[in-house]
Amino acid sequence: MTPVIDRIFRSFITQGRLDVVFSNGVRRTYVGAPGPVAAMRILAPSVERRLIANPGLAFGEAYMDGLVEPVGCTLYDLLDLLMTNSMGAGHIGEAVAAVIRYGKRTWTQFNPASRSRRNVAHHYDLNGALYDLFLDSDRQYSCAYFPRGDETLEEAQVAKKRHIAAKLRLDRPDLEVLDIGSGWGGMALTLAREYGARVTGITLSEEQLAVSRRRAVEEGLADRVRFELVDYRDVTRRFDRIVSVGMFEHVGVGHYRQFFDKVRTILAPDGVMLLHSIGRNDGPGSTNPWIDRYIFPGGYSPALSETFAAIEKAGLWVTDCEILRLHYAQTIAHWRARFAANRDRVAALYDERFCRMFEFYLAGAELSFRVQGHLNFQLQITRSIDAVPLTRDYMVEAERAATPAPAPKRRARKAKISE
């Protein structure tokens, strides 16, 4: 332990209590206002040095390498404490690193077609069996929707698709729909099967493309849904509806105007788009360096102000905006539980370091929504001022009409008391 790292921890911990065992065996306790409590052990002096200059990257790497360990608590508990305190300004090294990251973000998020494809492959072309171990059966890898709050993951993902479909205003059969970033095909197949749409899904992931095409054939929907390995910039055909779920985070802040200019070009004059994206509540920023390096290269969760500015410049209307605050935190909590239950199977697919990386990613992602101001937003976008009704009642009505009535509860029989 050096005096520098000791001073940094003392200024950094303003909420809660952190107990640290340093690499030389020295123990220190850092206490702020009432808050989370956690403890950790640092196993190498090199980690302490790196935590001074670039903690946003160094801490995650140290955990992956087994050089930082939670003590008497879970990784989630430890990250809860650290991420809560990171919202303050107590770490000068991180403050400087954040300024540098913000200055470089135009380059780090420069995503031409070739780079976008490499970035997508980094995460989405992993072994498909991995995703079956923690996602729902439809492989919805985005924020679910919990109208009651106690839904299962499967129920909440079905509700998410239904919620989005209501906002797309699929008011007649055979509407031509473009799904930008179609994942493993679940949204496109749902819109075709349950709403009579004709859907084109585009992705940059070869793994997702193969799965989506197979699913379309297996479900007898190949005549209504087709999937292509196409960048959004290369789409030229016009569509009645456009949907994009969990893809906008990969566009790159320097490409927002290009994205919405393309939307304006390919959306029918009376068409409707629904954009579903992670966002941030604290204004423009930059991506955590560990997430950028290991999980989503080139990714960024935009502020609404950045998104609206690009939409306005493209000459489009935002006809509805909904903020989903803790829905993604609940979604990821389900993913974390499923991942933990299948950890041995994940380790068999990859290795221990991969498991630690993914655990760190999921715990940090959930906490970013609970304590760091992340959110999800859904924007309904049109070219025309009168493309949708004057009020949003039609959304509620369409969603209710598509929601099955709850099954009646069985009345409990009274137990007979034997004499």
Q: Are 403 and 162 in contact (CB under 8 A)?
A: yes
The CA dihedral of 398, 404, 408, 409, to the nearest 10 degrees, is -100
Poorest-confidence range of 74-78, 120-124, 261-265, 297-301?
120-124
At 151, list the tokens: 């839904």
| CB neighbour list of residue 340: distance below 8 Å, 6 or more residues apart | 359
Burial 138-158 (b: 16+ CB within 10 A, else e): bbbbbbbbbeeeebebebbbb
Residues 54/60/66/68 CA torsion (nearest 10 deg)? 60
Give alpha helix (H) positions in 196-326: 206-218, 256-266, 289-294, 304-313
Could you state, in order of their start, the residue ranges of all structural domains in the chain? 1-90, 113-401
- Whether the predicted pLDDT of 93 surpasses 60: no
* Sign of the dihedral defined by the CA atoms of residues 24, 26, 32, 34, in that order: positive
Q: Which of 285-294, 345-354, 399-408 has the lowest mean pLDDT?
A: 399-408
Contacts of 77 (CB under 8 A, 6+ apart): 36, 37, 38, 70
Read off the pLDDT of residues 247-295 as tens digits, 9 standing for 90 and up.
999 999 889 999 999 999 999 999 999 999 999 998 898 888 999 999 9
Q: Give the angle 287-312-266 at the CA atoms, nearest 5°.
A: 90
- % of the chain surpassing 70 pLDDT: 89
The 10 Å Cβ neighbour count of residue 164 is: 22
Indicate whether 107 pLDDT > 70.
no
Tokens of 326: 């803790």
Give 24-46 pLDDT, tens digit per residue.
999 999 999 999 999 999 999 99
Residue 96's pLDDT is 59
Q: What is the pLDDT of residue 419?
A: 31
**H or E element at residue 62:** helix 55-64
- Rounded to whole angstroms, the Cα distance separating 49 from 408 reads 61
Are 208 and 124 contacting, i.e. CB atoms less than 8 angstroms apart?
Answer: yes
| Strand ranges across the sheet with 68-70 | 27-31, 15-21, 33-42, 68-70
pLDDT at 384: 97
| 315 Cβ contact list (under 8 Å, min separation 6) | 264, 383
- Token pair in block for residue 294: 């290991």
Q: Go through the chain and tell me how many residues it has.
A: 419
Whether the per-residue pLDDT at 415 is higher than 50: the answer is no
Q: Where are the alpha helices (DSSP H) in 113-172?
A: 113-124, 128-132, 153-168
DSSP 3-state of 38? strand
Distance, CA of 40 to CA of 272 (rounded, Å) = 50
Helices 113-124 and 206-218, axial angle in degrees (round to 10): 70
Query: What is the third-level CATH fold of 113-401?
Result: Rossmann fold (3.40.50)
Q: Which helix (H) or strand (E) element contains residue 56? A: helix 55-64
Alpha-carbon torsion (187, 149, 321, 366), positive or negative: negative
Q: What number is the average pLDDT over the span 340-355?
A: 96
For residue 417, what pLDDT band results from cuts at 50, 70 and 90? very low
pLDDT of residue 137: 95
> Distance between CA atoms of 72 and 38, rounded to whole angstroms?
8
Is 3.30.1050 the CATH number for 1-90?
yes
Count the neighbouring beta carbons within 10 Å of the beta carbon of residue 321. Answer: 14
